[in-house]
């Protein structure tokens, strides 16, 4: 047998030996994930045998990475002091870098990486994300999102790579490789493919809504990225908030147990999403095949007691519990957590280093899609008199989108980032003017670069027409006026759109001399100026079909390349360049 098979055999032997010693309460503890604040007391980490902790929105573990690590060391010691000394996982939503830590390298969101479609670049970005996550104390990341969006009204479009199954599948493999390392090599962190399954294909783009696709469509368009993730050795898969033809995915035994664990032979952990036990049927969630539950916001005691009673009353089979715990222990042994349970302090100086930011800046450059370039206005001359317009041009929070430091993102600058305006000022050989609010009266300029976009959002908060109903398929009236102001003066105008999805900008495209889709570039905003000044050419191609009108979304889905009933303004794969 080869070395990998021998290693796997040894791990299975260790798992079986440990499982045989565990009580029911210890097993349930391993299946429990909590936050390190609010959900439980410190003592309960030990007395309830907690198996994993998630860090997300809320108080941070400390003021810097050293304090974050120290907090996780303290918590890990409690787990190690239990009878069997099983170490804990520490999980984080690192969806475009270690995005809960101010000062980490923040990459373009996945929609931008989908536009770049560079497998090597995606793998490098994931590897850096993994390293900086480990440097802040984590050994489990809840990424990549491998959804296939069907409707731009969905508030999570930017978390996905593309509407293309093929591109998503290839980038998923690259991302898993980057996060976890090459198959057969030692790993120190597990990644998570999410959200299984149909999250981006809900009717009318509703977050957590109902996906009414046939089984054939699900298997053909939505399942391939998960197959690729499993083949790449992904350590976990997260169940989705949505229903599939009326059945909540968290309680969908056929898809989780029969398809994912059965047909695809997934041996990792199926983890729930937020507060899933109380939301999606209690013990039905466990019986469907979910192994670890985020027992948060009041679910903790109800969850542990419910699972315990379910087993004792015969509602949950003992073998279902043993399957869950076996999968959890397998991954803990696989990443060497029993031998090295504590964070590596030597990684802290690598957070946000120039080499990491260089990769993120390359990702920004390659993600940009040139939609229009009338009379070759771009590239701009470095000695041109340029005015940069709009608050989005000098605000790293606005340019980064949701899941940046905070769950819903930021509307202000954060540590370590470079804004779009700073990038222009670095590259220009003359003064760059700035008109933040469109109130200035600059007229003696050669070009206006107007930066407009969507304010940050995450999950259901970004749904268009959803319960919050904050966002729209067009840019705001204020941003339309910013563009119109400079166009009306006869000044050549470049529009840079910061958005988590294609928006209806047909009129603005006609007005502008040049138009760039910049997505959500993250911390390295200066990569935009590098391309607009011509140091690099445009490489990005549309990862989604681009809508021509709001009416394109009158049905369940928007325009897409696999369904030609709605003609897009620009087709999937469109993108100009200088050559």
Read off the tokens for 269: 């952990």
Enumerate the domain spans of the chain. Answer: 27-348, 368-553
- Say whether 459 is catalytic: yes
Q: How far apart are CA 211 and CA 548, in angstroms?
A: 25
Per-residue 3-state assignment (H helix, E strand, C coil) for 473-533: CECCHHHHHHHHHHHHCCCEEEEEEECCCCCECHHHHHHCCEEEEEECCCCECHHHHHHHC
pLDDT for the residue numbered 1: 32
Write out pLDDT tens, residues 157-205.
999 999 999 999 999 999 999 999 865 566 789 999 999 999 999 999 9
206-246 pLDDT per residue, tens? 999 999 999 999 999 999 999 999 999 999 999 999 999 99
- Quick one: average pLDDT of 279-284? 96
**If you average pLDDT over residues 3-14, what whole number do you get?**
84
Does residue 142 have a pLDDT over 70? yes
Residue range 425-459, pLDDT digits in tens: 999 999 999 999 999 988 899 999 999 999 999 99
> 509: closest CA among 579, 559, 574?
574
Beta bridge partners of 243: 210, 248
Predicted confidence band of residue 58 (pLDDT cuts 50, 70, 90): confident
Bridge partner residues of 292 (DSSP): 271
- Cβ proximity of 97 and 149 under 8 Å: no
Return the pLDDT at 39.
81
What token pair was written down for 509? 């495209």
CA distance 164 to 200: 12
- Name the nearest CA neighbour of 528 among 417, 419, 443: 419
Multiple choice CATH, 368-553, 3.50.50.60, 1.10.10.10, 3.40.50.1700, 3.10.129.10: 3.40.50.1700
Element of type H or E holding 453: strand 447-453
pLDDT at 283: 97
- Cα 137 to chain centroid, rounded: 19
Higher pLDDT, 188 or 527: 527
Which of 459, 524, 526, 530 is catalytic? The answer is 459
DSSP 77-88: HHHHTSSS-PPP
For 77-127, what is each residue's pLDDT tens digit? 999 999 999 999 999 999 999 999 999 999 999 999 999 999 999 999 999
Alpha-carbon gap, residue 227 to 230, rounded angstroms: 5
Instruction: Provide the pLDDT for residue 2.
Output: 42
What's the pLDDT score for residue 158?
A: 98
pLDDT tens sequence across 314-367: 999 999 999 999 999 999 999 999 999 999 999 999 999 999 999 999 999 999
The partner residues of 370 in beta bridges, in order of sequence, read: 516, 576
Distance CA 275, CA 280 (A): 9
For the beta sheet containing 432-435, the strands, ordered from the edge strand earlier in sequence to the opposite edge, are 369-373, 514-519, 492-498, 447-453, 386-389, 432-435
* Alpha carbons 47 and 414: distance in angstroms, whole number: 39
* Residue 5 scores a pLDDT above 80: no
Provide the Cα torsion 461, 129, 503, 534; round to 10°. 150
Q: What angle do CA 242, 243, 249 make, to 5 degrees?
A: 85
Task: Find where tokens 């979910």 sit.
Answer: 290
Dist. CA 3–CA 234, nearest whole Å: 19
* Integer Cα distance of 491 and 509 in angstroms: 15
Q: Is the pTM of the predicted complex or chain greater than 0.85?
A: yes
Q: Say how far apart CA 321 and CA 325 lie, in whole Å.
A: 6
| Residue located via tokens 């055999």 | 9
pLDDT digits (tens, 9 = 90+) for 397-426: 999 999 999 999 999 999 999 999 999 999
Interacting residues of 567 by C-beta distance below 8 A, sequence separation 6+: 548, 559
> Over 80: is that where the pLDDT of 70 sits?
yes
pLDDT in the model for residue 388:
98
Predicted local distance difference test score (pLDDT) of residue 184: 58
SS3 label, residue 237? strand
The first and second tokens of residue 313, run together, are 């009353």
Q: Within 13 A of 70's CA, how many CA atoms are on the CB side? A: 7
Strands 269-274 and 292-294, sheet pairing: parallel
Report, in this order, helix, strand and coil percent for the chain, each rounded to 5.
Answer: 40, 15, 45
The least confident of 55-64, 149-158, 262-271, 431-440 is 55-64
Tell which phi-psi region holds residue 405, choosing left (phi > 0), alpha (psi between -120 and 50) or beta: left
Q: What is the pLDDT of residue 185?
A: 65
Task: Give the whole-angstrom CA distance, residue 278 versus residue 41.
Answer: 21
Say yes or no to pLDDT of 274 above 60: yes
- Judged against a pLDDT cut of 60, whether residue 4 lies above it is answered with no
Could you tell me the pLDDT band of residue 384, with boundaries at 50, 70 and 90? very high
Is the backbone of residue 295 left (phi > 0), alpha (psi -120 to 50) or beta?
A: beta
Return the CATH number of the domain spanning residue range 27-348: 3.20.20.300
Instruction: Output the CA–CA distances (angstroms, integers) from residue 536 to 92, 362, 380, 490, 530, in the order listed.
Output: 34, 10, 12, 28, 6
How high is the pLDDT of residue 187? Answer: 79
Q: What tens digit of pLDDT does each residue of 486-521 get?
A: 999 999 999 999 999 999 999 999 999 999 999 999
* 97: nearest Cα among 539, 509, 424, 520: 520
Find all residues with CB under 8 Å of 215, minimum gap 6, and list them: none
User: What is the gyration radius of the CA atoms in the chain, in angstroms?
Assistant: 24
Joined together, the tokens standing for residue 76 give 């890990």
**Cβ atoms < 10 Å from Cβ of 38:** 12
Q: 273, 299, 391, 454: which is the annotated catalytic residue?
A: 273
Averaged pLDDT for residues 257-276: 98
pLDDT of 511 reads: 97
Q: What pLDDT is attached to residue 265?
A: 98
């Amino acid at each position: 047998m080869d070395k990998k098979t021998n290693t796997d055999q040894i791990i299975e032997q260790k798992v079986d030996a440990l499982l045989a010693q565990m009580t029911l309460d210890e097993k349930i503890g391993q299946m429990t994930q909590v936050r390190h604040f609010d959900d439980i007391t410190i003592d309960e980490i030990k007395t309830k045998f907690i198996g994993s902790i998630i860090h997300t929105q809320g108080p941070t573990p400390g003021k810097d990475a050293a304090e974050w690590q120290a907090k996780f060391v303290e918590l890990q010691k409690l787990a190690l002091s239990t009878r069997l000394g099983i170490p804990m996982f520490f999980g984080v939503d690192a969806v475009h870098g270690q995005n809960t830590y101010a000062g980490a390298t923040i990459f373009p969101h996945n929609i931008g990486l989908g536009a770049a479609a560079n497998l090597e670049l995606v793998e490098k970005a994931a590897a850096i994300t993994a390293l900086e996550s480990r440097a802040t104390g984590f050994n489990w990341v809840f990424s990549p999102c491998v959804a296939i969006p069907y409707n731009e009204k969905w508030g999570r479009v930017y978390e996905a790579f593309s509407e293309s199954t093929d591109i998503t599948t290839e980038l998923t493999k690259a991302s898993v490789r980057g996060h976890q390392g090459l198959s057969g090599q030692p790993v120190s962190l597990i990644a998570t493919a999410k959200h299984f399954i149909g999250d981006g294909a809900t009717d009318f783009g509703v977050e957590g809504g109902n996906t009414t696709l046939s089984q054939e469509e699900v298997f053909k368009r939505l399942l391939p990225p998960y197959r690729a993730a499993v083949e790449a050795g992904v350590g976990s898969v997260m169940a989705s908030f949505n229903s599939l033809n009326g059945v909540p995915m968290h309680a969908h035994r056929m898809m989780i147990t029969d398809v994912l664990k059965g047909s695809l032979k997934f041996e990792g952990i199926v983890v729930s999403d937020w507060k899933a036990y109380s939301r999606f049927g209690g013990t039905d969630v466990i019986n469907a095949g979910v192994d670890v539950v985020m027992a948060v916001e009041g679910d903790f005691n109800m969850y542990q007691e419910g699972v315990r009673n379910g087993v004792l009353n015969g509602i949950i089979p003992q073998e279902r519990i043993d399957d869950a715990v076996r999968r959890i222990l397998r991954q803990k042994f696989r990443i060497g957590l029993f031998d090295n349970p504590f964070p590596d302090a030597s990684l802290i100086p690598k957070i946000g280093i120039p080499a990491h930011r260089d990769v993120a800046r390359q990702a920004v450059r390659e993600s940009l899609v040139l939609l229009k370039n009338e009379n070759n206005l771009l590239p701009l001359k470095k000695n041109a008199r340029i005015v940069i317009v709009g608050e989005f041009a000098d605000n790293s929070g606005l340019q980064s989108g949701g899941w940046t430091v905070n769950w819903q993102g930021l509307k202000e600058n954060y540590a370590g980032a470079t804004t779009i305006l700073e990038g222009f000022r670095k590259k220009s050989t003359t003064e760059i003017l700035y008109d933040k609010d469109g109130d200035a009266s600059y007229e003696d300029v050669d070009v206006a670069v107007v930066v407009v976009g969507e304010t940050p959002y995450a999950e259901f908060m970004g749904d268009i027409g959803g319960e919050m109903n904050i966002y729209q398929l067009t840019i705001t009236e204020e941003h339309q006026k910013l563009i119109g102001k400079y166009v009306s003066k006869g000044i050549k105008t470049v529009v840079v759109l910061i958005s988590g999805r294609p928006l209806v900008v047909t009129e603005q495209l006609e007005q502008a001399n040049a138009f760039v889709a910049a997505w959500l570039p993250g911390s390295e905003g200066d990569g935009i100026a590098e391309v607009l000044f011509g140091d690099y050419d445009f490489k990005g191609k549309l990862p989604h079909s681009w809508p021509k009108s709001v009416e394109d979304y009158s049905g369940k889905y928007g325009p897409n390349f696999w369904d030609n009933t709605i003609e897009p303004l620009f087709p999937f794969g469109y993108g100009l360049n200088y050559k």
